[in-house]
Amino acid sequence: MIIILLNRYKEISNLFMLCILSISFLSVRMKITHDFYMLFLVWNLFLALLPYFISLWFTSAIIPNLSRQKAKWILTPIFILWLLILPNSPYIITDLIHIRNASGSWLIYDSILISCFAITGCWAGFKSMQQMTQGLVTLNLLKKNYIVKTIENGLLFLCSLGIYLGRTLRWNSWDIIQHPDQLIIDTFAIFIHPLSHQTAWLQILPMSIFLMVFYRLFINYETKS
């Protein structure tokens, strides 16, 4: 664990700084207003960080310490778990809907507060995707650059779909275990009857484009730095 922290000190410290900033803004709001309504953001942030720590553990502790064959064998359950919870990272963007509950004097502050949590979640999700795709490249499962980009865009589309299922239809990641039948039916209905689910596509497609553009900007910045 110490070695992982030392090797990834820069990115972990950046994430830690974002988390501290977000929680500090929230603490100030709760201290002044004595209103704990926004406390749900802490739980959403925790869920948003889980994909990052899974990919960090896999790429830093599993791949370097096991043979590629064994790492590939372990990859499947880890990747499925990671993929199921990955939408939690950008999901916090949709918490901006709670700004409508802010009073006039707190409108701007709450906008900054939720945006800070959203940026932190997106940063963790983007970094997690970068780590996981690099892990797949290391295992020789992805070789061509265009394939990597296609996989990344596909993952971001799935994130947007997951965000819609979570925000609008109120499904959770663990419902794939508790209520798999209904979740699958609701998901496939979006694709089988697209004209009957125009509201869904008006949320999924713009979110997909938004995430794809900002992920590419994130990758370009990471590559240059």
Query: How confident is the model at residue 64, as a pLDDT?
Result: 82
Residue-wise pLDDT for 126-176, tens only, equals 999 999 999 998 888 888 888 999 999 999 999 999 999 999 999 988 888
In this predicted structure, what is the pLDDT of residue 127?
A: 96
pLDDT tens digits for 77-91? Answer: 999 999 999 999 999
* CA distance between the termini of the chain: 25
pLDDT tens digits for 31-43? 999 999 999 999 9
Highest mean pLDDT among 9-18, 176-185, 190-199: 190-199
In the predicted model, is pLDDT for residue 219 greater than 60?
A: yes
pLDDT tens per residue across span 38-64: 999 999 999 999 999 999 999 888 888
Report the number of distinct structural domains present in the chain: 1
The pLDDT score that the predictor gives to residue 4 is 63
Give SS3 for 157. helix
pLDDT band at residue 1 using 50, 70 and 90 as cut-offs: low
Per-residue buried b or exposed e for 191-216, using 16+ beta carbons within 10 Å of the residue's own CB = eeeeeebeebeebbeebbeebbeebe
Residue-level pLDDT at 5:
60
Tally of CA atoms within 13 A in the half-sphere of 108 that contains its CB? 1
Q: Is residue 44 within 8 Å of residue 117, measured between CB atoms?
A: yes
What's the confidence (pLDDT) of residue 178? 87
Is 173 strand, coil or helix?
Answer: coil
For the segment 207-215, the average pLDDT, to the nearest whole number, is 98
Domain extent, residue 65, equals 2-224
